[in-house]
Structure 1
Amino acid sequence: MSNDTNLDTKITPNLQLVYVSNVERSTEFYKFIFKKDPVFVTPRYVAFASSDDTLFAIWSGGDTPDSEVPRYSEIGIMLPTGQDVDNLFNEWKVNSNIAVFKEPYTDVFGRTFLIKDPDGHVIRVCPLD
């Protein structure tokens, strides 16, 4: 086996993958909150372009997702300003398909709020670091 890896090359995470129990339902949810269509769709795996070469993907975890498996993680969406955070919250709070987990508040990193996706993953919206 050849080892052509340049050890000076920086490795950058470029895929955020979350497990979901219903790919179709989660695809519709993320299409709404991201305001875009996925770039890759299969029955068990759907990917959305994030930034540059980064993807956000949802994955069933196999042929038949097990709805009893805990699926908790925190997904971050960083916006330019705290006012943008409040504006997005006001847009989303009127949608009955979005479960508000924690209303806007100010933390050490600025304005933030939390929602949950259909599988209970926490989505934090906050200003850019």
Structure 2
Amino acid sequence: MVENDAAVERLYDAWRRVGVTIEQKLMTAVFGRTFVALDPDGHRFRVCTPDD
């Protein structure tokens, strides 16, 4: 989890630039901006903001 939607977007752009596999593109869900990336072993990481 990151501090705000802008941080989600910055991380998405940074990870794409260095070649991280993105499984779910940046989108707005009911809980805010989010995306899902894969680590080299295929584990999923959802990046989003904490619940209020």
Alignment RMSD (CA, Å): 0.9
Q: CA deviation at 1:119?
A: 1.5
Percentage of identical aligned residues: 39
Higher relative contact order (CA 8 A, sep 6+): 2
- Structure 2, gaps ≥5 residues long: none
CA distances 1:24-83 after superposition (whole Å, capped 9, x unpaired): xxxxxxxxxxxxxxxxxxxxxxxxxxxxxxxxxxxxxxxxxxxxxxxxxxxxxx111111
Q: Greater helix share, 1 or 2?
A: 2
When the two structures are superposed, what TM-score results if normalisation uses the length of structure 2? 0.87
Segments ≥4 residues shifted beyond 4 Å: none
When the two structures are superposed, what TM-score results if normalisation uses the length of structure 1? 0.38
1:1-80 correspondence runs (5 A): 78-80=1-3
- Structure 1, gaps ≥5 residues long: 1-77
Q: Specify the code of the residue in structure 2 equivalent to 1:123.
A: F
